Amino acid sequence: MPLSKLNKEQLQAATADLGHNLVIASAGTGKTSTIVGRIAYLLQEGIKPEEILLLTFTNKAANEMKERVGSFLPEAKNIEAGTFHAVSYRWLKRLNKNIVLKQPKDLKILFKSIYDKRDFLRIRGEEKPYSSNYLFDLYSLFLNSNADDFSEWLAQRAPLQEEYALVYESIFDEYEEIKKAHGLVDFNSLLIRMIEELKNGIEVPFKEVLVDEYQDTNPLQNELIESIKQSSLFCVGDYDQSIYAFNGADISIISTFDKRYPDANVFTLKKNYRSYGEILEIANKVIANNPRIYPKNLEVTRGFSGEWPKVLYYNDTFEEYRDVANRILNSSVSRDEIAVLFRNNSSADAIEAMLREKGIECRRKGGVSFFDSREIKITLDILTFIVNPKDIMAFIHIFEYAKGVGSAIANEIFEALMTLGDGDAKKGFLNPDLSKKVFTKKKTSYQLGLFDDFAQLGSVSKFKSVGMDEVFLANPILKHPKLSVEGGEFLYNFYKLLKRLNKLKNPHSVFNEIIASKTFKHIIQNIAKERSKDKNGKIIEEKYLEALEKIENKVKVLGNLLRNYNDLEKFLNAMVLGANEMSEGRGVNLLTVHASKGLEFKEVYLVDLMEKRFPNIKLSKPAGGIEEERRLFYVAVTRAKDRLFLCLAKNDRIRNLSYEPSRFLSEAGYKIEVK
């Protein structure tokens, strides 16, 4: 049984009375075992699995915990478990809310189509306005901060941007209006919608809420936890591993737990089962320079190996990376058990090149995954539009591949189709209401930067040479004043594809029809051409054919995944919710410290331990400053089980910069003689 395998500290926490319980679980101290033990204890005490909610930061972690309990107690499969977003999505669906979940990277295109309609040049600010991508991310950070007033929040962060605040807010408002009109939700609005439902008094079935990685919660997630108004709360985390301040995580949430809940019990897990004693001594020495929120110190259970982590000091970064590659080449440790960790992604390319040069397989977390490749994304977008013709994002993605049709024009064509189809864009294609007017003049606003306006409607005569049938020629969408002949032809081919798909029901038949269509072939040929250009922009025929073959093979993999589903909508939901956690590859692990969290390796190389690289005060200053950087170092060191190498270089020949050794090395007790 899970409880019988716990040590005294873990057992005390896992069997605590219902109430407000916080478990400070230091690195490698058996956090997951304690949570699994807690769930088993609740079930043994007669609490039904449906009355237990487990909130995690990855669906993978939630499933692993359920499986571990389920191997002893089969009823554990009925526990409600998942990320804050996955749980909120399922809960809202059960409440019959009409929502379509979209990834942030998809919604950025919608956001940009709104942003591009603003003319910021007329405002003449002291500082340039933020780009669309940056503003999108900033808006997400604002929502997660749970602040009330954007203008005040912006003024505190960037006073010179305040003069654009009204324009920014108008973009946010239009963005939210379009999302609401089409039932679209992103990860932020999932939580906001769920909090609203909870505040409106929906029934809450849970007797205890368990929260994993509690130190990483942001104010919006914390409001969700508190809005559930559970009778018992069991939070597990480690303030020394709070490293996501840049993403909105607020360390004060875990540090004020006993103040917000005066009846709280705070338990501490100190016995580390992962690392040798020498590694833990370095971690303890450095993190001791940060404020101690709750008393704790890692205790050694594996003993001492007799080998202290080595400091490797090089003349320049190329020499550093080459020697790391040589050491890995000659290491007896399995490649999958070796990791190279770095503070900044800029280090990764050179390290990967050195490893590849020596024939060492490696994988980079954060590279282009299967689901992020353009060919897979567009295939899923076409399937999504077939299932839900109200999906504006899928439509914009598809029609950005039409020549001369950008996101703004695609947005306008979609709105026209929705009007012509009485709220159904597919109907707007196949059976439009010709009495409806589209592409009418829009409002303008000097203050909000809105100066766009439709010119005189275009003529459809230019499309007759394409060979369109008379039915489609009568569709008012062809009258968009900026629609090119090539854009119109793309629309026509898509219209013909919709006509053929309208007769099909089987998901596999739909998939095969799509990949055989002119529309799809046009798209993947464009992608292949982009990937086969030389530095002068010329397409290399051999590379083009190779790229096209790779694209087609990758799409076939998606078709094989679809074979496990008889319902296209369920397949698409599984792809959207799971895409972030699906990855491929093998070999040496190349990871940022952030990406390494929760992992462990027998042999770890921590590179670029120089001032301005690690710690990187410039990156961390807006978030947690030097204390956040120190927590990052602590997380990096505690990934190592057996061997740890601390690497640094005096110079970077590419950047033509010289560096001082990282302060964390002296805090760890090393005396570095500057070369």
Residues linked to residue 233 through DSSP beta bridges, in sequence order: 20, 209
pTM of the model: 0.72
Q: How confident is the model at residue 407 (pLDDT cuts 50, 70, 90)?
A: confident
Q: Which of 489, 580, 482, 517 lies closest to 385, judged by CA?
A: 517
Q: Are the C-beta atoms of 100 and 183 separated by less than 8 Å?
A: yes
Give the model's pLDDT for residue 581: 45
Q: Do domains 2-97+189-269 and 304-369+583-668 have the same CATH topology?
A: yes
Secondary-structure breakdown of the chain: helix, strand, coil percentages, each rounded to the nearest 5:
55, 15, 35
The helix (run of H) or strand (run of E) holding residue 69 is helix 59-70
Average pLDDT, the chain: 87
Instruction: Quick: pLDDT tens for 103-162.
Output: 887 899 899 999 988 888 777 777 889 989 899 999 999 998 888 899 999 998 888 898
Instruction: Quick: pLDDT tens for 4-13.
Output: 889 999 999 9
Give the model's pLDDT for residue 1: 58
Q: Select, from the ranges 191-195, 577-581, 624-628, the one with the highest average predicted confidence (pLDDT).
A: 191-195
Q: How confident is the model at residue 621 (pLDDT cuts 50, 70, 90)?
A: low
Q: Which of 596, 603, 593 lies closest to 309, judged by CA?
A: 603
Angle 474-476-479 from CA coordinates, rounded to 5°: 110
Residues linked to residue 645 through DSSP beta bridges, in sequence order: 310, 605
2-97+189-269 CATH: 3.40.50.300
Give the model's pLDDT for residue 368: 54
Instruction: Quick: pLDDT tens for 547-572.
Output: 998 888 888 878 877 876 888 888 88
How large is the greatest C-alpha to C-alpha distance in the chain, in angstroms? 84
Q: How confident is the model at residue 70 (pLDDT cuts 50, 70, 90)?
A: confident
Give the model's pLDDT for residue 291: 86
Q: Select, from the ranges 86-100, 426-440, 657-671, the one with the highest average predicted confidence (pLDDT).
A: 657-671
- Residue 264 backbone dihedrals phi, psi, to 5 degrees: -65, 145
User: Residue written as tokens 């130190």?
Assistant: 215
Cα separation, 675 vs 673, whole angstroms? 6
Label the pairing between strands 100-101 and 208-211.
unpaired
Q: How confident is the model at residue 409 (pLDDT cuts 50, 70, 90)?
A: confident
Q: In what order do the strands lie in the sheet with 208-211?
A: 80-83, 52-56, 208-211, 232-237, 20-25, 265-269
Q: Please check the confidence at residue 442 and state whether its pLDDT lies above 70.
A: no
What is the domain partition of the chain in residue ranges? 2-97+189-269, 106-182, 304-369+583-668, 374-440+455-569
Give the model's pLDDT for residue 457: 57
Whether the ω angle into residue 389 lies within 30 degrees of 0, i.e. cis, is no
450 vs 510, higher pLDDT: 510
Q: Please check the confidence at residue 391 and state whether its pLDDT lies above 70.
A: yes
Helix axes 132-145, 187-199, angle to 10 degrees: 30
Give the model's pLDDT for residue 245: 84
Give the model's pLDDT for residue 525: 95
Cα separation, 423 vs 448, whole angstroms? 28
- What is the third-level CATH fold of 304-369+583-668? Rossmann fold (3.40.50)
